[in-house]
Structure 1
Amino acid sequence: MPDPVAVLCVLVLLGAANGSPILAKKLLRDRFAAPLDGGTILWDGRPLFGASKTIRGFLVSIVVTALVAVLLGYDWSLGALFGAASLAGDLLSSFLKRRLGLWLHDQASGLDQIPEALVPTLLLRNELGLSAGGIAVTVVAFVILALVLSRLLFALRIRDRPY
């Protein structure tokens, strides 16, 4: 049986890592929104990640996730690493979507959520107290929450579009 407290803490960290760039975009608009990939176009004529993956979002996510980790009783460095790992999963997703011919903001349910939850939970499973079952429950719960909360944030005009 997965530890429900560990799963809940990880879901909060995932929320911080993935939600803070959305809030930063809403608050800062286009300020500090340089693309993380520098506008790089690959051999297939498509961007490496796309314009929505910004340096601002990357930095905000790491800082906010580190702060939230401290509030949850973890070390800030675990939070920063968690945020970076979650973003690495998100970047992997964006990279794969571009290679599959999907463009910015095209939906790919599962591919849009699973890597950003799976990468940090696998990488930090011991530090977070997650079993294999805990990882599975966390990833499934994150996918469901991401889809539901995305629609809510869109209705509240915090997100540009729902997923």
Structure 2
Amino acid sequence: MNIEFFGTALESPAKMLLLLVAANGVPVLGKKIFGATFDRPLDGGLTLRDGHPLFGPSKTVRGVLLSLAATALAALPLGFDWSDGALIALLAMLGDLASSFVKRRLGRPPSSMALGLDQIPESLLPALAFKTRLGLTAWDIAGVVFAFILLELLLSRVLFGLRLRDRPY
């Protein structure tokens, strides 16, 4: 039986979604595992003329490196090359950094939640980049982004309940 997800076999969107969850979840777990070890802000603590940091202290070199490594490894059993996993993680992290940059410009504190702004760039960029390779339609991409928003909100609460996240969304 071939299950359809917005016009495509479930396999491609589901794989993309799993890799997005890995890319975005591993930095949270890394923070709990490593604590302050390797906790270097990606922006080096740079404060812009508006008085706010470029990205903020929650965007760390450790988080990006863990995301790249974990997603590259997670890609292998899903039939992707490790470099595809690393690229998905890189694009997800770039989307996350763009969100953080905008939130800092709006005066929002680090780790605050902005529904949509926190999820759309980090799920949309990788999905668009892999559209052709995975044969994703516009509906598939919309479905992946929507599912990612729901999963992130749900997993955030679960990870908070397990004390792996400092606060829920």
- Alignment of 1:149 with 2:166, yes or no, is no
2: CA distance, partners of 1:102 / 1:30: 23
Structure 1 residues 5-26: Cα deviation after superposition (integer angstroms, max 9, x where no partner): 1111011100110011011111
Is residue 18 from structure 1 mapped to residue 24 from structure 2 by the alignment?
A: yes
| Number of the residue aligned with 1:64 | 70
Q: What is the alpha-carbon distance in structure 1 between the residues aligned to residue 97 and residue 61 of structure 2? A: 12
CA distance in 2, matches of 1:19, 1:9: 15
Aligned residue in 1 for 2:3: none
Counterparts of 2:166 and 2:9, CA distance in 1: 35
1:139 aligns with 2:157: no
The answer to whether the Cα contact below 8 Å between 1:16 and 1:68 also exists between their aligned partners in 2 is yes
Partner AA of 1:114 in structure 2: I
Counterpart in the other structure of 2:42: 36
Please say if residues 3 and 130 of structure 1, whose CA atoms lie closer than 8 Å, have aligned partners that are also in contact.
Answer: no
The residue aligned with 1:121 is 127
Given candidates 3, 8, 14, the residue that maps to 2:9 is: 3
Q: What is the CA-CA distance between 1:128 and the residue it aligns to? A: 2.7
Q: CA deviation at 1:3?
A: 2.6
Q: List runs of 5+ in structure 1 lacking aligned partners.
A: none
Q: Aligned partners of 2:100, 2:167: CA distance in 1, in Å?
A: 16
1:66-95 CA deviation, whole Å, 9 max, x = no partner?
001111010111110110000000000000
| Paired residues, number | 163
Secondary structure of the equivalent of 2:8? coil
Scaled by the length of structure 2, the TM-score of the pair is: 0.94
Q: 1:77 aligns with which of 79, 83, 96?
A: 83
Structure 1 distance, partners of 2:89, 2:135, is 17
Is 1:47 paired with 2:56?
Answer: no
Tell me the distance in 2 between the aligned counterparts of 1:107 and 1:12. Answer: 22
Residue type at the aligned position of 1:24: G
- Indicate the RMSD between aligned Cα atoms, in angstroms: 0.8
Give structure 1 regions of 4+ aligned residues with deviation exceeding 4 angstroms: none
Q: Distance in 2 between matches of 1:82 and 1:70?
A: 13
